[in-house]
Structure formats: structure tokens, C-alpha cells
Amino acid sequence: MRDILVALSGSPNVGKSTLFNRITGGDVHVANWPGVTLQRAEGRVQHHGITLRIVDLPGTYSLSAQDVGERIAREFIVRERPDVLVIVLDATSLEKSLYFALMALELHHKAVIALNMMDAAEKRGIHVDVDGLASKLGVPVVPVSALKGVGVGALLDRILDVAQGKIRTSPLRVDYDGLEPFIHRIQRLIESKGALSRYPSRWAAIRLLEGDEPLMEELMHQDPDLAREVKALRERAGLELGEDPERIAISSRYSLIDDIVRSTVIQVRLAAPSLAERLDEVMLHPVMGPLVSVLLILLTFFLIFAVNTGFPLNLIFANLGYDELARMIEEFSISGILGSLFDWLSSLITKWLISAGYSGWPVGLISDGIIGSLGTLASFVFLLLIAYVFLGAMQDSGLFPRAAVSLDNLFRKFGLSGRAFFPAVLGMGCSVAAVVSTRAMDDDRERMVAAMASPLIPCQARLLVLLALASAAFADPLKQSALTVSIYLLSFALYLLISKLLNWLVFKVEYAPDLVMELPPYHRPSLRVVWWYARSNTEHFMRKAGMLIFVVGVATWFLLNFGPSGYLTGSKISESYAALLGSLLTPVTSLIGLPDWRYALAFEVGFFAKEGFLITFSSIAGVADPVQAIRIVGITPLKAVSMALAMNYYVPCLATVAALFSELRIGKYVLLTIALEIVLALMLAGAVYWTGVLLLGLS
């Protein structure tokens, strides 16, 4: 028997992704929807010997094709005609999730409803008449708890029943009241002309009356005369009924929803103000809200950075005089452990290769080039995974959306809305994630501005470089902390200021877009959901940038170890291709006090991945520890500050540039972003360096 195609759909915050992961149990392939960076997850599951292919559609409130997510979901349903459309509803708030269900069932009635969060609903005194709901909607309804895995088997049974025709479903009919005569007219018109034949004709007629632009364009393309006739009918409907047809249509759907909810949901009132209400009093308080939000982000990243790099715990203990403890924290951080692991691996393999009779460049290539690059890759995986675990927990708990609301006022002053909070926070984990997250913004201008400004926020790779520079140049841990923290504060200020500048100069708008955002209910983060979130995001990143990081690592090894005279032995690195390439850029790095091909080369390699700075220094100095390597290459405190500033802002890394291209889709804006960052880096680093040299007599 052939595979059964199942599409999973529903509004945001109904637990759709959790259900998807629960059904597929990890056998998932993540890719992008054609032409956009929106993630497309697809999984397979066997049920009673039959393979179900499950595609997770973007979570949307409607199917009006108003934004990318809605367009993708609708196009998929119409073009692929899934054997079964699973519509996920939230039993704790049926009213809100039913709107999507109605839109979906009008379009495609071979469907099954997964009534999610039934357990939570019962706890809150909400009882849903499952059979009643099924008969109102004309499709089977299966109560499930995606979080606990209850009801998934029954859901798969019903999916097979519908796919194999054992259960017959019927199209949902919404009563559109005064619009009905017009719907019939348009339906007959398009049927007789055979237009828009890939859609159900009644659905197409309603959508055309509602002023669905993509659909109208399609009709215009097929039959311009018919399109004009339909437009005239739409105008007549508006005049005759004295109201916008769109509003009548949406109202009609909501009155059906009211009717369904009245007859199938019984809510027993529960006393006592819930924890959620008390939490909201704090989170949405005009003064406490922003304060608590900022503390929350600090705490989140305190945890992420401490686990990953030891910062800021290492510096705190070093400041208090516990050097030994500080060193241990660093050694046992994720990047510390991975660093020593790969050093050990590299020396082990070197010994083994030499004892096996190998010598010369193949030994170096394998033990340094390949193992070293794999080490970089492994550290990326863990840094991202840990960051996503903590960020996923904050997201899942419902706290982050509140933080975005409470910071809305601050962001508005810079022509952004509270939504600009998400890229800024994700940017501390990885700039690629930050750029991709702007997809969720519904204001086009805000989306572009936030995408262009978000690479200014230091990602974790840059944090590692920053920490190494600070430790190499300053003995005093207080000064190390001061440098690191100032770069972060400066970056956030720049994120806002550059956004303001872009709004003003490029987009010539100064007002901030309106925030319209759903606040999902608070709940204790589920480990399983957080893990799925972290894993799928990390996998997505590795698929995009993993190979690149590895290849660039190996290529850098070749450039450093080969020169015009062939393989270089000993300390002849100054005769390498790398030195030649580096010297090309030295005129520019001289402007910020770094007239040395080795620094210039670090900037070149750093474009491919910001950790390239550390790899370059380690390779040049011939030691694994990047702090020691930077000291060997030689750096003064002033040069370290100049380099830290320049490194942070000079250009987004290659993977981020690629993400910017696919998000902005306007090359001019990507180039502008890069140019802006180069100018910013040269100005800031140059100003600091020359102030130090000329006014303070530093070097």
C-alpha cells in the first residue's frame, strides 16, 4: 500500500509541534519551505504496517494567505491534497483555535481533529463534548495530550480510517447569511467557466467575496473578464448589505463558533485568582515588568554562558581571589572540556600516525586540520544546544512573550515594537537564529530593520573570542569583566540606535509598528518540548553551516601550512599563503592599530565563522590554548580593546550573511548591512585606538 500523506495544521500555541514530535518520535527531517527560511519539518511513522508521511504546516491563525505562513499552509493543502489534514485544537480555549479549524475544513474536509490539552482542560473545569463537536464539524474528533502522549494511537487509527474511506467526512457549511445569494452566483460563474478549478468552488466564491488578493490575482490571470465580474459582484454585495463582505464572513464564522462552543463546552467556574494572574500583575506592571524581564534575560544568559564558557562565574571568582576555583570552572565548562578533549585526541592521533610510519603534511592535515575543525564544529553544536535548551524553556513557559510586551515602550522609541525583543535575545545565542526569527514579525519594515540590526548583538562564538582577548590582554579579572560587559551594553545600544537610523534613512518612517500578539498561558516548561526545540534548531543550523565551518577550518590549515615554496616546516608561517592573504588586508587593519598580517588574517578567517579568530591565533602560535596563543602573537591592552570592537562589528559571519540574503531577499539591503558594520567597526575601533595613542600615550 502507498504512503499516506498527513498534514498537521493549527493556530500558534495549540501544541502542534509537540504533537508532531510525539507522533513521529524523532524520525524527522528538517528543511526549508521552498524560497523561504521558514522551517519545514517532515517525519514518518508506521501504523498497522502502513507508512504515514507527516508534514508539519506553519502555525497560523487563519488561511487567508495574508502572510508567508498562511500562504505556505494554504498552498500545501491545495496543491498536495493531503490524504488527511489533522487540525490541532486547544481544548482549554476552543473558541480561539476553532477559527482556524473552520477555515481549514471549508477548504479540505478529509480531516481529523486532534483535541489537544484535554487533561489541562479537565483540570481547569472545562468539559468538552467530543461527540457533539465531531457531529458539528463533520469530521472525527480525538482527545489527546501531546505532552503526555495520551491518545496518539487513537488519533493514528482515525487518520487511517479517514484515509482509507472507512469514515466518511462531509464538507463544513458555514451559514454566511446575507452573503449566500452572492456566494451562489459566484460559485455558478466560476464553475461554468471552469476557473479556479483546483479549489472547492464554494470556498473560492467565499474567499473572492472576502477580497482574497492572491486568489483574485489567480482568477485575473485565468479569466480577466470573469475577475472583473466577480469584483463588481463583491462591490454590489457591500452596497446592498451595507457592510463589508469580509466582516460579514468573519462574523458568520464566529457566530458558528459561538454556537458550537455553547453546545459542546461546559465550564465549571473555579475560584481563587490563578498564579497566572498574579504573575501577569508583575510581568505587565509598567515599572516591574521591564525590570523583571531584563533580570530574566540576564539570568537565562548567566546560566547559558556559565555552562558553556564558565563566564561570568570564572571572572566573579577570580575577582574574589579564588583563582583556583575560577580556573576549574573554565576547565569544566563545555568549551573547556571540548577543548581539552580534542587536544588530547589530536596528540593521540599524531603519535599513532608517526608510529605507523607517516610523516610530513598528512600528519598535520589529519591531527590539526581535520581534528581541529571537527573540534570547532563540536563546540558549536554544544554551545547552540545548551543555549537553545534555556531559551526554549523561557519560550515554552510563556515568560518571553510577556517580556516582549513589557519592553514594547522602550523599543517604540527606536521605531520598533516589543517583537524586536526576540531577535535581540536569540542573537546572544547565534546571529543566524536571530535573523531567522524576524520571520515572525508581521510588519515588513520592522522585520527588515530587526534582521539588519540583529547581527550587532554578540553571538556565543564572538563571546569566546572576546573572553580570550580579554584574558590575554588584562591580568586583572575586573578589567576583563569590564571589557566584556561594556561590549554587550554597547551592542544593545547599537541594536536600537542602528534600527532607528535604518528606519529614518533607509525606510524613511519614524512611527513604530503596532504590537498585536497573543500571550500564551503560563506553564512549567516541558523537558521534552524544550529538548525537541533545542535539537531541531541545532540540527537546522548544522545543516546550514556545519559543512562550511568544517571546510573553512581545513582550508585555513592548508593556507597556514603551505606557501609558494610548498609545505612549510618549522616556524616559517610568515612565508605561507595565509601570510600573503593577510598582508592584503593590513592597510585596513593599520587604521585601527593592528598593522600585522596575523591580525589581518584573523579578520579574514573570522568572516567564515567568528571562532576563526581563535583558530588562526592557535595555528600561528602553534599552541592549542587560544589565550596563550594571543599572548604569543603579542597584544597590548589598547590593541585588545580595538580588536574586540572591530571583531564584534566588522561583518556578520558567512552563515549570517546567507540567512540575511534569504530573509531580506534584497541584495542591496544585505550589502548595506555589511557596509554599515564595516564602517561602524572601523569608526569605533579607530576612535578608541587613536584616542589611546594620541591622548593617553598608550600603545
Partner 1 sequence: MDGELLPLTALRPGRRGRIVTISVGRGKARRLMELGLLPGEIVQVTSNSAGPVVLRTKGMTLALGRNVASRIWVEVVQ
Amino acid letter, residue 322: Y
- Under the binding rule (CB under 8 A), the answer on residue 503 touching partner 1 is no
- The H-assigned helical ranges of 124-244 are 130-137, 152-163, 180-193, 201-209, 213-222, 224-241
String of DSSP letters for 407-423: THHHHHTTT--GGGHHH
CB closer to partner 1, 268 vs 695? 268
Residue 362, preceding peptide bond in cis (omega within 30° of 0): no
Among 17, 18, 64, 499, binds partner 1 (CB under 8 A): 64
Residues 597-626 close enough to bind partner 1 by CB under 8 A: none
State the minimum distance, in angstroms, from the CB of residue 58 to partner 1: 15
Sole window of 199-207, 333-341, 519-527, 578-586 interacting with partner 1 (rule: CB under 8 A): 519-527
Among 104, 152, 515, 615, binds partner 1 (CB under 8 A): 515
* The C-alpha cell that represents 170 in the structure block: 462531509
Q: List the one residue out of 391, 382, 386 whose CA is nearest residue 297.
A: 391
- Under the binding rule (CB under 8 A), the answer on residue 371 touching partner 1 is no
Sole window of 50-58, 176-184, 201-209, 250-258 interacting with partner 1 (rule: CB under 8 A): 250-258
In this structure, the strands spanning 50-56 and 39-47 are antiparallel
- Under the binding rule (CB under 8 A), the answer on residue 523 touching partner 1 is no
What region, left, alpha or beta, does residue 40 occupy, with left being phi > 0 and alpha being psi -120 to 50 degrees? Answer: beta
Residues 624-663 close enough to bind partner 1 by CB under 8 A: none
* Those residues with Cβ within 8 angstroms of residue 632's Cβ, 6 or more apart along the chain or in another chain: 621, 623
Q: Are 690 and 643 in contact (CB under 8 A)?
A: no
- Under the binding rule (CB under 8 A), the answer on residue 177 touching partner 1 is no
- Under the binding rule (CB under 8 A), the answer on residue 335 touching partner 1 is no
For residues 277 to 296, the per-residue mask of contacts with partner 1, x marking binding by CB under 8 A and - elsewhere, is: x--xx--xxx--x-------
Site of grid cell 534575560? 297
Sole window of 152-160, 301-309, 518-526, 679-687 interacting with partner 1 (rule: CB under 8 A): 518-526
- Under the binding rule (CB under 8 A), the answer on residue 62 touching partner 1 is yes
CB closer to partner 1, 326 vs 404? 404
Among 99, 495, 533, 557, binds partner 1 (CB under 8 A): 99
Among 9, 17, 37, 93, binds partner 1 (CB under 8 A): 93
Q: Are 554 and 369 in contact (CB under 8 A)?
A: yes
Sole window of 330-338, 510-518, 573-581, 681-689 interacting with partner 1 (rule: CB under 8 A): 510-518
| Burial of residue 593 (number of CB atoms within 10 Å: 0-12, 13-18, 19+) | buried
- Cα–Cα distance list, 663 to 216, 402, 492, 667, 697 (Å): 26, 26, 22, 10, 46
State the minimum distance, in angstroms, from the CB of residue 518 to partner 1: 6
- Under the binding rule (CB under 8 A), the answer on residue 561 touching partner 1 is no
- Under the binding rule (CB under 8 A), the answer on residue 201 touching partner 1 is no
- Cα–Cα distance list, 665 to 336, 405, 543, 688 (Å): 39, 29, 21, 35
- Under the binding rule (CB under 8 A), the answer on residue 95 touching partner 1 is yes
- Under the binding rule (CB under 8 A), the answer on residue 325 touching partner 1 is no
- Cα–Cα distance list, 339 to 257, 317, 381, 613 (Å): 58, 21, 13, 15
State the minimum distance, in angstroms, from the CB of residue 211 to partner 1: 8
* Those residues with Cβ within 8 angstroms of residue 254's Cβ, 6 or more apart along the chain or in another chain: 99
Give the C-alpha separation, 94 to 80, whole Å. 28
Among 396, 408, 596, 611, binds partner 1 (CB under 8 A): 408
Site of grid cell 472545562? 126
Among 180, 259, 324, 514, binds partner 1 (CB under 8 A): 514
Among 9, 17, 21, 92, binds partner 1 (CB under 8 A): 92
Give the C-alpha separation, 178 to 671, whole Å. 53
Residues 15-54 close enough to bind partner 1 by CB under 8 A: none
Per DSSP, the three-state class of 222 is: helix
Give the C-alpha separation, 275 to 273, whole Å. 7
- Under the binding rule (CB under 8 A), the answer on residue 66 touching partner 1 is yes
Q: How many residues bind partner 1 (CB under 8 A)?
A: 42
Sole window of 106-114, 191-199, 273-281, 334-342 interacting with partner 1 (rule: CB under 8 A): 273-281
CB closer to partner 1, 96 vs 479? 96
State the minimum distance, in angstroms, from the CB of residue 271 to partner 1: 17
Among 518, 551, 572, 595, binds partner 1 (CB under 8 A): 518
Residues 434-453 close enough to bind partner 1 by CB under 8 A: 442
Alpha carbon of residue 96 to chain centroid: 25
Among 50, 167, 171, 254, binds partner 1 (CB under 8 A): 254
CB closer to partner 1, 364 vs 418? 418
Q: Are 531 and 544 in contact (CB under 8 A)?
A: no
Residues paired with 135 in a beta bridge = none
CB closer to partner 1, 409 vs 586? 409
- The H-assigned helical ranges of 398-476 are 399-406, 408-412, 421-427, 431-437, 444-453, 460-473
* Those residues with Cβ within 8 angstroms of residue 295's Cβ, 6 or more apart along the chain or in another chain: none
CB closer to partner 1, 435 vs 515? 515
CB closer to partner 1, 61 vs 532? 61
Q: Are 613 and 651 in contact (CB under 8 A)?
A: no
Among 350, 409, 628, 662, binds partner 1 (CB under 8 A): 409
- Under the binding rule (CB under 8 A), the answer on residue 58 touching partner 1 is no
Among 264, 406, 576, 648, binds partner 1 (CB under 8 A): 406
- Under the binding rule (CB under 8 A), the answer on residue 477 touching partner 1 is no
- Under the binding rule (CB under 8 A), the answer on residue 417 touching partner 1 is yes
Q: Are 93 and 101 in contact (CB under 8 A)?
A: no
Site of grid cell 515602550? 409
Residues of this chain that interact with partner 1 (CB under 8 A) are 61-62, 64, 66, 92-96, 99, 246-247, 250-251, 254, 277, 280-281, 284-286, 289, 401, 405-406, 408-409, 412, 417-418, 442, 511-521
